[in-house]
Amino acid sequence: MDGQIIRTEYSEIMQKSYIDYAMSVIVSRALPDVRDGLKPVQRRTLYDMYELGIRYDRPYRKCARIVGDTMGKYHPHGDSSIYEALVVMAQDFKKGQVLVDGHGNFGSIEGDGAAAMRYTEARLQQITQEVYLSDMDKDVVDFMPNFDETEKEPVVLPVRVPNLLLNGAEGIAVGMATSIPPHNLGEIVDAVKAYMKNNAITVKELMKYIKGPDFPTGGIVTNKDELLKIYETGSGKIKVRGKVEEEPCKGGKVNLVITEIPYPMVGANIGKFLNDVAALVESKKAPEIVDISNQSSKEGIRIVLELKKGADVENLKNMLYKKTRLEDTFGVNMLAVADGRPETLSLKQMIEYHVDFQFDVCTRKYQTLLGRELEKKEVQEGLIKACDVIDLIIEILRGSKNQKQVKDCLTMGATEGIRFKTKTSEKAAKKLRFTQRQATAILEMRLYKLIGLEIEALLAEHEQTVKNIERYEDILNNYDSMAQVIMEDLDRTKKTYGRKRRTVIENAEEIVFEEKKVEEMEVCFLMDRFGYAKLLDKSIYERNKETVHNEYKYVLTCMNTDKICFFTEKGQMHSVKVMDIPLTKLRDKGTPVDNLSNYSSAQEQILFVASMEMIKNGTMMFVTGNGMVKQVPGTEFDVVKRTIAATKLAEGDVLVLAGLCDAMDYVVLQTKNGYFLRFMKSEISSMKKTAVGVRGIKLVQGDSVEHAYLLESRMEYTAEYKGKQIVLNKVKLGKRDTKGTKVRIS
């Protein structure tokens, strides 16, 4: 078949395709609909549970069944996304109102994941069934075909409360994201009613009812005055603090107990908070804290900080708020799909969209109910009329040959082919004018309905039907009547499911925490050959220089604000803050370097020690056993991490030399087999610390570099090789990457 080639600009095709993809992600996956406040995966999961009959008053069902059914019928995007959505809807520490009743391990507030779906069970919560999924049989929402057009799914659920505000939302789309905090159900209901009574209400007036977010974890919102702008614009930052209480203990001590955490701390950030507090203790910024224990349980959060007697409690609180995530921000971006496109909404707009949706749902509901009542009224009137002429109807039934003759007679008065006992009966039959629906009901009527009490019940039922019709017509024809119905429904929801506010809204003062400034001073760092390190006052060092240099392997002066760096044979650089090293007397033993840093004397050997100030102002030289050499600018090592790879080593290779080389002119490499090579330092290129380096010496098979020396041209250096003294400055000057000169032992 001949095809037609359409020439077009490639960039235009890419642009159109990407926009189509982005809109698909935005509308079909990532963002909630403003009407029911649900993302497609949440909506489909809840509807599937409703379809499977997993109601709140029925037994739990395996989550694997729910996930599989949802994926097979409505959401073909993988089981993990469906199960994750199901789990979140069951977690009371993430949702303002839990929608799914989970049975089994559904994770914890500390970030523990839920058990696999084959182990957990779930069912709908009562509120979900009564407020989110009720009236689905009354044609209240539109249905659309599923992905393969074998099933029908609702476009939205008929949610009776603004779920977008109640449970909030989080989602990342393409080029945009939504982040809406949860709110209090009772406050939301009051705000919706206030809007329905006065459509011209402002956001400021609405906030008399909705004070601010109501996080499931409680906490304290500290920027009350900024909330108005956030709710007017739909974006901003909410500052949230955890709740810290003082708990008296024996001996006059006081413990700090964290009973509520900021909402953003939910999950792994609790562990990070504990690590941050531990780091403050280790760095001696919070020496008053003796112990940290997480005593949280199903009853709630309880993190206990044990303090020393006489600790400055207020200052410690301020430090926790300033230095940890106990005070955090919740970024608000109230983005949702409204009228088929993403839109950033204000508080009033959200309520406005919800109310419009409720009127639409209510209209469709009562139109359906009115239609049903009118049908019922028609049938009831037919049966009442039939009771008055029941003898004639029986005569028609007995005289007819088939059902069609009976129906034609009842609806049109057609008497042809029907045998009547008298002409009077035939004449009366010709006057019958029942409707088709009434005729069907008469034919299906059972004889016991002719009992007197049954007829009375039918009349009473008809009277009630007429009242229902009047009521439904009033609701449909009068705005105030429909608004009253919606408000009564909201009141019932608030009374049944409302709860007290958890989050406190206030204007708190900005936390002011000033760290004690360390008085900068020069000290002397000492480390002996056993790895014990200490600091010595500079004046004591000056008076005992000879003793110090005789007894200690490494001696260097530095500032107390500096860091000491240890380079090891494994190519690692371990650093420790000078302030973390104890300042002692001359004869005190000191502390093992193993206890101060990540270095382990059992696993590696220290080759070189220097202060960070010395290193970053100089150039480091590295030589390995395989003969690789390189120079590295000292600034490469000025990092925050306590341990880094100082150089890259080949497998099985070790570092032989690490040292500052700025004042040096020559490099001498000595091999195990007695080869010595002296060459100019300038032959070695400057490289990154992640480089392996260049070859310094050609090694014969089985040989390796045993020692390396850095020489200054004005000084004489000697080294011993198998009992022979070698003057390194007199070793024949060669070129890098040559064999060198072999020393012969006579």
Q: Is residue 596 a contact partner of residue 580, using CB atoms and an 8 Å limit? A: yes
One-letter amino acid at 130 equals E
Query: How far apart are alpha carbons 243 and 260 in whole angstroms?
Result: 5
pLDDT at 20 over 60: yes
pLDDT the model gives residue 1? 47
pLDDT the model gives residue 717? 86
Catalytic center residues: 119
Query: How far apart are alpha carbons 460 and 122 in whole angstroms?
Result: 44
Share of the chain above pLDDT 90, in %: 57
pLDDT the model gives residue 452? 63
Phi, psi of 299 (to 5 degrees): -75, -20
Q: 58-100: per-residue pLDDT in tens?
A: 999 999 999 999 999 999 888 999 999 999 999 999 998 999 9
DSSP-assigned letters across all residues of 395-434:
HHHHH-SSHHHHHHHHHH---TT---SSHHHHHHHTT---
Query: How far apart are alpha carbons 466 and 482 in whole angstroms?
Result: 19
Question: Average pLDDT of 696-706?
Answer: 91
Q: Which two tokens stand for residue 54?
A: 């997993």
Q: List the one residue out of 389, 408, 391 whose CA is nearest residue 400.
A: 408
The residues pairing with 145 across neighbouring beta strands, listed in sequence order, are 152
Per DSSP (E only), the strands in 110-200 are 121-124, 143-145, 152-154, 169-172, 177-180
- Ranges 516-520, 523-527, 670-674: which has the least confidence: 516-520
Query: How far apart are alpha carbons 495 and 518 in whole angstroms?
Result: 59
Report how far apart the first and last C-alpha atoms of the chain are (Å, whole number): 94
Q: Which two tokens stand for residue 537?
A: 């006052």
Q: 487-515: per-residue pLDDT in tens?
A: 999 999 999 999 999 999 998 877 766 66
Q: List the one residue out of 244, 304, 299 whose CA is nearest residue 274.
A: 304
Predicted structure pTM score: 0.73
The residues pairing with 670 across neighbouring beta strands, listed in sequence order, are 676, 707
pLDDT the model gives residue 449? 67
Q: List the one residue out of 600, 689, 599, 696 whose CA is nearest residue 656.
A: 696
pLDDT at 351 over 70: yes
Q: 294-307: per-residue pLDDT in tens?
A: 998 888 899 999 99
Q: 360-384: per-residue pLDDT in tens?
A: 999 999 999 999 999 989 888 888 8
CA 56 to chain centre: 27
Q: List the one residue out of 277, 220, 208 whose CA is nearest residue 509.
A: 220
Q: 211-246: per-residue pLDDT in tens?
A: 999 999 999 999 999 999 999 999 999 999 999 999
Q: 147-160: per-residue pLDDT in tens?
A: 889 999 999 999 99
